[in-house]
């Protein structure tokens, strides 16, 4: 089946227009709050990583390892909550249209297979990237629907979910990689602009705890918009390809 990306984007926009209140409530809890908390409470990189003098030194390498170790709980917790939020949106817009509480229960029952399938997806993409980069990018497109496949089709076998996504996306690997890249780059550019203002004020000595909270909130808001948009696009594309 040929995928019409323009029509899929129109479908996603229609879902937003008809359900914006629900989407904002779910997004506020499962996207904005964890992203805001992570941005606000995650430790700053050590000075050894912020200066060019220590770059490449043993001390900088050790500091980098310690920093990632210290921030891992924040990153993992945030990722799990946002993954649950995306899965909840997938479930809410199935044909049966369950209520939020009912949908949360169904997602909870499928959450472990979902996480395992997504880990498998990341390993597949990473393995392809290690080979020659191009296979990894293609794998990104072919595994585009893994998450929604687990939820929509109640697939509890992660390998089965990966296979189903690959089946659905046959002939559309590159266009779906392009969609993924556009979503990622949009978020990256938006957060880079906010980050530029943050660094400028930080360098001028104008930063304060209130400013840091505002910056964290702005970054979280951008992340929330991107996460909702990505979920709606996947819902729309899955409906057309299944």
Instruction: Give the pLDDT confidence of 156-197 residue by residue, as tens digits.
Output: 999 999 999 999 999 999 999 999 999 999 999 999 998 888
Selected residue with higher pLDDT from 144 and 242: 144
Q: Under a CB-based contact definition with an 8 Å cutoff, are residues 120 and 150 in contact?
A: no
Share of the chain above pLDDT 70, in %: 91
Residue 136 DSSP one-character state: H
pLDDT at 49: 53
Q: What's the whole-number average pLDDT of the chain?
A: 90
Is the predicted pLDDT of residue 205 greater than 80, yes or no? Answer: no
Share of the chain above pLDDT 90, in %: 70
pLDDT at 63: 74
CA distance 141 to 155: 20
DSSP string, 20-48: HHHHHHHHIIIIIHHHHHHHHHSPPPPHH
Is the predicted pLDDT of residue 103 greater than 90, yes or no? Answer: yes
What's the N-to-C CA distance of the chain in angstroms?
A: 9
Mean pLDDT across the stretch 147-164? 97
Question: Of the candidates 171, 63, 165, 154, which has an alpha carbon nearest to the alpha carbon of residue 118?
Answer: 165
Torsion angle, alpha carbons of 167, 169, 170, 175, to 10: -170
pLDDT at 61: 75
Is the predicted pLDDT of residue 210 greater than 90, yes or no? Answer: no
The 10s digit of each residue's pLDDT in 11-23 is 999 999 999 999 9
Instruction: Tell me the C-alpha to C-alpha distance, in Å, between residue 72 and each of 66, 68, 75, 167.
Output: 10, 6, 5, 34
Domain boundaries, the chain: 5-241
Kindly report the backbone phi and psi dihedral angles of residue 208, in degrees, each rounded to the nearest multiple of 5, phi listed first: -150, 170
pLDDT at 203: 66
Is 138 strand, coil or helix?
helix
The tokens for 98 are: 């369950």
Buried b / exposed e over 107-133, threshold 16 CB at 10 Å, is beebbebbbbbbebbeebbeebeeeee
The 10s digit of each residue's pLDDT in 25-76 is 999 999 999 999 998 888 777 655 555 455 556 776 777 788 888 888 888 9
DSSP string, 147-178: HHHHHHTT---HHHHHHHHHHHTTT-HHHHHH
Mean pLDDT across the stretch 78-83? 96
């Amino acid at each position: 089946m040929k995928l019409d990306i323009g029509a899929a984007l129109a479908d996603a926009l229609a879902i937003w227009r008809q359900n914006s209140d629900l989407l904002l409530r779910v997004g506020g809890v499962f996207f904005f709050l964890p992203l805001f908390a992570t941005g606000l409470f995650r430790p700053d990189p050590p000075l050894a990583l912020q200066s060019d003098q220590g770059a490449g030194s043993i001390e900088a390498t050790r500091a980098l390892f310690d920093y990632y170790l210290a921030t891992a709980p924040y990153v993992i917790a945030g990722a799990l909550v946002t993954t649950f939020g995306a899965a909840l949106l997938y479930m809410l817009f199935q044909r049966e249209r369950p209520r939020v509480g009912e949908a949360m229960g169904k997602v909870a029952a499928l959450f472990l297979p979902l996480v395992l399938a997504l880990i498998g997806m990341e390993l597949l993409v990473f393995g392809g990237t290690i080979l020659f980069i191009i296979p990894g990018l293609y794998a990104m497109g072919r595994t585009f629907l893994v998450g929604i496949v687990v939820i929509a089709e109640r697939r509890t076998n992660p390998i089965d979910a990966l296979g189903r996504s690959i089946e659905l996306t046959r002939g559309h690997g590159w266009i779906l990689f392009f969609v993924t890249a556009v979503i990622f780059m949009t978020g990256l550019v938006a957060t880079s602009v906010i980050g530029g203002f943050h660094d400028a004020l930080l360098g001028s000595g104008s930063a304060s705890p209130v400013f840091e909270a505002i910056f964290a909130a702005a970054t979280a808001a951008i992340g929330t918009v991107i996460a909702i948009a990505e979920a709606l696009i996947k819902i729309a594309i899955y409906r057309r390809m299944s």
